[in-house]
Structures are given as structure tokens and as C-alpha cells.
Amino acid sequence: MSSATEMVCVSPLCNLGWTEVLMFMSPYGWGQYGVAFALGLSIVGAAWGIWTTGSTLVGASIKAPRIKSKNLVSIIFCEATAIYGVILAIILLNKVSAPSGTYTFDPATWDWANMYHAGYATFFSGVSVGMTNIASGVAVGIAGSSCALADAQDGSLFVKILIVEIFASALGIFGIIVGEISTLKLDTTSFNEFIF
């Protein structure tokens, strides 16, 4: 169904579609994108939680000014979500490092299957941690918002709702554990010899 006006690429540098583009990306690039997603999405989750908690805290402190300093712990829990992403990014960057020693620049001798496994595992580890931290940041933000509103009404409710907020923050720790387990058994020796 091609027409006379349609341009057809005949160069060997043409891609046949997105599948080919994604298949021929560098495994090292996949690993670096995983690190970027872990950091970026974790920061988005923390910002979202801080925005939710902070706006409620400012509004509720008009009615009860005594809650301003006590409820700042909710903001700290939201910020911890971003720190979880930084921790995993440091762990992943240590797995995806520059090559040490001498290596041959002969693609025929490289262990491509192991390198792609390491690249994909690092990528999806970063994405899973980032998505978990978005969920954790939103959950901590909603719980912190509820904590501020409840504390403004009745000061005895602060500790009770703070426990819920701690459990919401634990979601981010579970994400780090899953992200680390998914990259635990990687053989990164050949992966670290792969540089463009």
C-alpha cells in the first residue's frame, strides 16, 4: 500500500520500527536509564507528598497554630521517599561502572546475553523502585494531610495517625528491597566491559 509520494528508507541505518530501536539500544544505556528513573520518579513521589501534606498543614494551622512544628514530621517522611531513590541509584551506579583493567574492543567476544540481562534488570529495578516511591510519596502525603487535619481537631489523634504514616513510608523501603533483590545475582563483569 505504498504510494508514489511515500518515501522509503533504503539506507542500512534505517529502523524497521520501535521494536528494532529498543532491541539495539546499548545495555549500558538501559542501566543508566534505570538509575535515572529511580531518581526521577522518587523525587516526583516525594514532591507530590510534600505538596499534599504541606498545603493541608498550612491550611489547618490557621485554625490550630500549635500543629505547625509537630506535623513537620510528615514532610520529613515525604522527603525520605526521595532519599530511598538516591540510595538505590547509588547501589545501581556501583553495579554499572566504568571497566577496570584491560579489555578488548571486539564485539564478537562479548557476552551479549549477560550484558542485556544486566541492562534490562538494572532498568526495571530502577523503574520499579521509582514507581513504588511515587505510590509511597502519595500515600505518605495523604496520611500526613489526614494527620494534620485530625491533629487540628483533636491533639490526641496525632500519634495514632502518625503510625499509619509510618506504614505508608515503609512502602518505599519495600521498593528498595525488591529493586536490590532483582539485581542481586547479576554478573556485571562483562557488563562493565561494555563501553561506547
**According to the model, what pLDDT value does residue 112 have?**
75
Q: Which of 107, 93, 85 is nearest to 190 (CA)?
A: 107
| The three three-digit cell numbers of residue 59, written as one number | 491550611
For the entire predicted model, the pTM comes to 0.80
Dist. CA 96–CA 75, nearest whole Å: 32
Let me know if 23 is exposed, middle or buried by CB neighbors in 10 A (0-12, 13-18, 19+). Answer: exposed
**According to the model, what pLDDT value does residue 192 have?**
54
**Dihedral sign of CA atoms 77, 82, 86, 91 in order:** positive
Query: Are 160 and 73 in contact, with CB atoms under 8 Å apart?
Result: no
Note down pLDDT in tens along the chain; length 196 residues: 455 556 666 766 677 777 777 777 888 888 889 999 999 999 999 999 999 999 999 998 888 888 888 888 999 999 999 999 999 999 888 887 665 656 566 667 777 778 888 888 999 999 999 999 999 999 999 999 999 999 999 988 888 888 999 999 999 999 999 999 988 877 655 555 544 3
**CB hemisphere CA count around 106 (13 angstroms):** 5
Instruction: Give me the count of residues in the chain.
Output: 196
Dist. CA 110–CA 185, nearest whole Å: 19
Look up residue 5 and give its amino acid. T
Task: Check residue 191 and report its DSSP letter.
Answer: G
Domain ranges (residues) in the chain: 38-96+112-193
Q: Which of 136, 131, 140 is nearest to 75 (CA)?
A: 140
CATH class of the region 38-96+112-193: mainly alpha
Count of beta carbons in the 10 Å neighbourhood of residue 11: 5
